[in-house]
Structure 1
Amino acid sequence: MSLSYKRIVIKIGSNVLTQDNGLPDLGRIAHLVDQISAIKKQGKEVIVVSSGAVASGRSVLTVPNRFDAVATRQLFAAIGQVRLINTYSELFDKHGLVCAQVLVTKEDFRDRLHYLNMKNCFSILFQNNVIPIVNENDVISVTELMFTDNDELAGLIASMLNADALIILSNVNGIYNGDPKDSSSKVIEEIGDSVTGFSSFITTQKSQFGRGGMMTKSHMAQKVARLGIAVHIANGKTEDVLLKLLKKEVINTRFVPQKNASNKKRWIAHSENYAKGIVKINEGAKLALASSKATSLLPVGVVQVLQDFQKGDVIKLVDENDKLVGLGIAEYSSEKALERLGQKKQKPIVHYDYLFLNPEIA
């Protein structure tokens, strides 16, 4: 029995799209486009988050070593984005399909208005049967403006669009219970909300041509699964991997989705970088929030306001060891919160409906 996903985000990593010499693997890209086109023609909506712009730029131009790394990356990205989207456009055109380029930066997710504007852009593309090809705008995204990697971007896009599934194509079959190079290691085929400690198996090594590693993939996958979206990590170099995955015919790691979260919670889940305030909560409040019961954060559970905020700001909740417990929208300002600190029978500082808990404590 095939998986019945209707809206799928497919993230294609740098190591899938590039050859060993760092140049684009055009045969692999064409094979993936063939598969995506077949899925699209099944009546599904597909969003592609594609790496490969810098590699595409590198295939066009050789630059002297005197340029610094950031400037060289910007140069390759500016050239490569044109080359990459043209490659996709020509390949999809052979299948009678139209694709569009959507370039984003972290700034596009910084507030609700930007977020909704971007969501509207995707809506009009879907209505016109266009396949969005999403990539970080590496030309202007440098240092603090950069996503951790395209896995983080793919998670944000999947959450924003309420996708049924996010498929991350890497150069391994999934998350292993040991070193992937060890023949005795096996792929963990399913990771549910109750599975913990699997991150100890994961190598911290970054991918050869990308910025991310399996650790960032797994943390992002857990977060997205908690929002009600199934996440698969599979090997993008396996023949027909997408078609086989949807038919359950290929080994991969699947993060089991939890109950669907509201649109507001999806935005909050990915808003850590834009949080304005910080409150420290006691152990009792932490346990109450992590319980199965829907619980809001009350002033009685707050021990300290570490950073000021206004009503409506996204704030961080940290425990007494300064570890992130969750994110939420403040019901009132830090000034009012300080007046009510430690008091019982007060209005919540963060209501449950506007609270997202860190998967590691929830």
Structure 2
Amino acid sequence: MPQTVVVKIGTSSLTSAETGYLALSTIAALVEVLSQLRQQGHDVILVSSGAVGIGCSRLGITERPRTISMKQAVAAVGQGRLMRVYDDLFTSLQQPIAQVLLTRSDLVQRSRYVNAYRTFRQLLRLGVVPIVNENDTLAVDELKFGDNDTLSALVASLVGANWLFLLTDVDRLYSADPRYNPDAKPILLVDKMEQLAELNVEAGDRGSNWGTGGMVTKIAAARIATTAGIRTVITEGRSPQNILKILAGEQLGTQFEPDLQPFNARQRWIAHSLVPAGKLYLDHGAVNAICRAGKSLLAAGITEVEGEFQSQDAVQLCDGTGQEIARGLVNYSSLDLQKIRGHHSDDIPKILGYAGAETVVHRDNLVLSNAGAGTP
């Protein structure tokens, strides 16, 4: 049965750790596997890192740039070279590709989010393999994905993928980094994300010399993908053939089971694509009403307002300890909320001088954060 497969490959798998040059044999093997998947009728999207590393190699720079302007300039040099390599290899197998460069703002605005979805769907209908990367040349810090693990999970969520493969420099998830801890134990299956806490998993944030993420970003990506109903796999990037074996039923790498009741498309957009502009702290009654009774948020339950935002911006809803319980689209600006917080809805017209919405965050525009326990 045809499925939608998103594959993310990191810089550590694409390049040689010693030289920074492209690992051409790995890239060729990956291209062959993805072309094979297309021939089997699957829709395939590749999220590829590597532009900064390749740009540095091209320019003779021996360490990863530290300033945003330098990184953007180097990425601009490397991205063209990276796509040239992919295009040559995919063309040899008669497989058309497309370059898609995204910034966070492409997913924040609802109209652009929907447009991105339509573009991906049209490319897949045409039998094209979209190759996605963050638009490093233009992205600003506040609207960066931060790493391609997150980007790949958001793309998989956007298109409603069946599988997300995170290809990295280790063969699976371990209880600690096996490169530094000889007692690290392999983890083959994660039924629920809470299981990782029970197993005392130490998810380090150390990537390679050229990469931006460690295992912590892959776990965060798996969290995003599984809440969207996407089965997620961490496996070795130097062995792309593992993708075919896993799809055929072999137990390789670490697999994360998808949630049985995944978010719908609008919930996924609110939970993962939007960047919260502020926080609302709630009393115990409001927390219970939202988490257990499925209610909307009313002004009476708000104890504190943090940040500056406008109506229809995304905000985090937090309990008294500051723990995030939900995210949602707010019906009032931070200025107005400072005036009406703690008051009954019937008092709002008198306080503000106009008849606003009865709810501060309506239930339809609200998503619980892991059943009200942690960040989405």
> What residue number does 1:108 align with?
106
Contact 1:241 1:250 in 2 (8 A): no
> What residue number does 1:252 align with?
253
Contact 1:272 1:327 in 2 (8 A): no
AA partner of residue 361 (structure 2): V
Rounded Cα–Cα distance in structure 1 between residues aligned with 2:205 and 2:66: 26
> What residue number does 1:230 align with?
231
For structure 1, list consecutive stretches of 5 or more residues without a partner in the other structure.
none
AA partner of residue 99 (structure 2): Q
Rounded Cα–Cα distance in structure 1 between residues aligned with 2:151 and 2:113: 13
Identity in percent: 34
> What residue number does 2:351 align with?
none
> What residue number does 1:314 align with?
314
Normalization by structure 1: what TM-score?
0.88
> What residue number does 1:16 align with?
13
- CA deviation digits over 1:78-99, x for unaligned, max 9? 1211111111111111221100
The equivalences for 1:251-270 within 5 A come to 251-258=252-259, 259-270=261-272
- CA deviation digits over 1:101-126, x for unaligned, max 9? 01112222231122222222212212
> What residue number does 2:349 align with?
none
AA partner of residue 327 (structure 1): R
- CA deviation digits over 1:232-271, x for unaligned, max 9? 1111123511111212324222222122322211111124
How much does 1:5 deviate? Answer: 6.5
> What residue number does 2:361 align with?
350
> What residue number does 2:297 align with?
297
Contact 1:271 1:314 in 2 (8 A): no
Rounded Cα–Cα distance in structure 2 between residues aligned with 1:186 and 1:342: 52
For structure 2, list consecutive stretches of 5 or more residues without a partner in the other structure.
347-356
AA partner of residue 237 (structure 2): G
Rounded Cα–Cα distance in structure 1 between residues aligned with 2:365 and 2:177: 39
Rounded Cα–Cα distance in structure 2 between residues aligned with 1:126 and 1:196: 34
Distance 1:55 1:307, change over 3 A: closer
The equivalences for 1:103-252 within 5 A come to 103-181=101-179, 182=182, 185-197=185-197, 198=199, 200-238=201-239, 240-252=241-253
AA partner of residue 261 (structure 1): F
Rounded Cα–Cα distance in structure 1 between residues aligned with 2:210 and 2:62: 19
Contact 2:2 2:41 in 1 (8 A): no
> What residue number does 1:61 align with?
59
AA partner of residue 218 (structure 1): I
Contact 2:175 2:200 in 1 (8 A): no
AA partner of residue 238 (structure 2): K
Normalization by structure 2: what TM-score?
0.85
Rounded Cα–Cα distance in structure 1 between residues aligned with 2:2 and 2:300: 43
Q: Secondary structure at the match of 2:187?
A: coil
Distance 1:356 1:277, change over 3 A: same
Aligned length: 356
Contact 2:154 2:273 in 1 (8 A): no
How much does 1:227 deviate? Answer: 2.2
